[in-house]
Structure 1
């Protein structure tokens, strides 16, 4: 071995060691990022079963932030409130804890670090639809099974949404029911919502179910109109006395969406902004027709018939 080769050998070994350390660091970062975005338990009360016992289902949720967050129970929140003379004093103390000097000087806690990158969001990738037999009838419950980081879309697009029906049975079926991206417009009044639908047949032990699927999405207000076509037989009399019967198509429309009543959360957790300690009373508001039009024609039996159609929708308390 020459002197030049003896000199290159230690450099080659050092390069391999540094490359291994770098690869381990990258893998550790990727592993940490993927570990943050995962499914976590989220139990909800859906009612009572046919025996009268309460039913709580772990529907799951995708972890939006890293770190472990302890969600206080309802009883714990009540005990904390009892320590103060009034609700106003309780809210003031919480505000001081959140915006006090200690909070502003401290570094960002791990629970505030997003579970995915800046241009990604932790989304469900597998959802199961369970049918629960309750005291007041059957109910469908969607359960999140898996989560992963997905690219945050800036455009309003139809995105795949796989749902499993009749899981662990001979009739288990996976359907792409579709959904809309969470993109927002420049104003919060508009959001990405489904505007065109289709249907898929699902075979079951008792009958055939019709599952509604999303075909297209658009930026609309929270309360919006979608097309809904109905067909009628129309009788037309021509000038030469000939009577013709033809099919008449009328888009009567439907009002969809929900009406926002503002943020009902009065007090959020300083450690987890998604956890609300105190809620205000809910105000019911519905999406109803605002404008309408009329379509008149002669029916099969020679009678004048008028059909009303929705032209616009609005929120109404």
Structure 2
């Protein structure tokens, strides 16, 4: 047997083995991670620029479900999908056939795009600075998405943000975030309660960026400590006057209430699909109760400082 015939025989054996192995390979994970867990456009209206023109930004969103491209719960669907060499070919073949009955939202939610212990979330984000009529505003934009491990504990997780992208001052900072805990009690969320700061050099000055240092399970609108210091004058029984530092936790309210997120532009063909959102809040997290701290100031004047004890959502 000459050399060309040997090469031809080896090629035939390789193709045969490839065909046999391909029948036993489940392409589902590969396709779902690439096709389903990806960035999609999500335009948000943020206001008017200095010329009065409306400004909307594609902040992006991570698609968390496959949307019914196939039905892994049915054996027939798996057999039908395995006949095609790629996801693209499979989708093209579906277009040539009669349209299937629309699936309910509950059925779509049963099609995860990542593994059982993973979620589809952002892996790269940048902070865009937009100049509006009311002043500059920073908007976080999702650049890429990936499958990440689903955490059951409420802990601080890394969150990289790129500031002043594509400029000589481009800086990447781990601003931190809180895990999307799935084991949270009813009505509680994993939210930031401790903060730190980082410095970012800019063309005009140095910006102070707030970062997350710790997280806890709280309600959507919650109180966090906020310490302030005052000079207090104390008169002792023996007639001695003492000036000392007084620490008061005045507190502050954080968290999200019912946000506007109103749809400004819906799809004519599918009313459930929104092309443009308004992210302005319709309610705010404000103090609900407080307590007073009265003391003599550095100059001997009676001073009262109020500290927040609880917060609630208010329109």
| 1:50–1:235 Cα change, 3 Å | closer
Query: Is the 2:68–2:103 Cα contact (8 Å) retained in structure 1?
Result: no
| Pairing of 1:254-293 with structure 2 (within 5 A) | 254-260=252-258, 275=273, 284-293=282-291
Aligned mates of 1:172, 1:148 — CA distance in 2: 23
Q: Which of the residues 197, 201, 206 maps onto 1:199? A: 197
Residue 196 (structure 1) shift: 0.9
Aligned length: 263
Aligned mates of 1:57, 1:262 — CA distance in 2: 16
Q: Deviations over 1:167-192 (max 9, x none)?
A: 11111110111111111455432111
Q: Deviations over 1:271-310 (max 9, x none)?
A: x998469x9xx99433222222121211111112121111
The DSSP-based 3-state class of the residue aligned with 1:25 is: coil
Q: Deviations over 1:82-103 (max 9, x none)?
A: xxxxxxxxxxxxxxxxxxxx56
Q: Deviations over 1:154-213 (max 9, x none)?
A: 111111110000011111110111111111455432111111111111111111111111
Residue 64 (structure 1) shift: 1.3
| Pairing of 1:201-216 with structure 2 (within 5 A) | 201-216=199-214
| 1:50–1:112 Cα change, 3 Å | farther
| 1:304–1:238 Cα change, 3 Å | same
Aligned mates of 1:147, 1:204 — CA distance in 2: 28
Aligned mates of 1:132, 1:294 — CA distance in 2: 40
Aligned mates of 2:247, 2:225 — CA distance in 1: 12
Residue 104 (structure 1) shift: 7.6
| 1:145–1:104 Cα change, 3 Å | closer
Residue 258 (structure 1) shift: 2.5
Aligned mates of 1:291, 1:207 — CA distance in 2: 38
Aligned mates of 1:133, 1:283 — CA distance in 2: 19
2:174 equivalent to 1:188: no
In structure 1, the residue matched to 2:139 is 141
Q: Please, which runs of 5 or more residues in structure 1 have no aligned partner? A: 1-12, 70-101
2:170 equivalent to 1:175: no
In structure 2, the residue matched to 1:31 is 30
Query: Is the 1:185–1:191 Cα contact (8 Å) retained in structure 2?
Result: no
Structural RMSD (CA): 3.8
Query: Is the 1:253–1:310 Cα contact (8 Å) retained in structure 2?
Result: yes
Aligned mates of 1:275, 1:212 — CA distance in 2: 34
Aligned mates of 1:55, 1:284 — CA distance in 2: 19
Give the TM-score normalised by structure 2: 0.71
Deviates most, 251-260 or 207-216: 251-260
Residue 115 (structure 1) shift: 1.6
| 1:187–1:67 Cα change, 3 Å | closer
Aligned mates of 1:186, 1:159 — CA distance in 2: 16
Q: Deviations over 1:219-256 (max 9, x none)?
A: 11111111010000011222332222111100011111
Q: Please, which runs of 5 or more residues in structure 2 have no aligned partner? A: 1-12, 70-100
Aligned mates of 2:281, 2:175 — CA distance in 1: 31
Aligned mates of 1:59, 1:248 — CA distance in 2: 44
Residue 32 (structure 1) shift: 1.5
In structure 2, the residue matched to 1:312 is 310
| 1:68–1:185 Cα change, 3 Å | closer
Query: Is the 1:177–1:212 Cα contact (8 Å) retained in structure 2?
Result: yes
The DSSP-based 3-state class of the residue aligned with 2:25 is: helix
Aligned mates of 2:130, 2:261 — CA distance in 1: 31
Aligned mates of 1:104, 1:63 — CA distance in 2: 17
Residue 153 (structure 1) shift: 1.0
The DSSP-based 3-state class of the residue aligned with 2:30 is: helix
Deviates most, 46-55 or 293-302: 46-55
Aligned mates of 1:166, 1:226 — CA distance in 2: 30
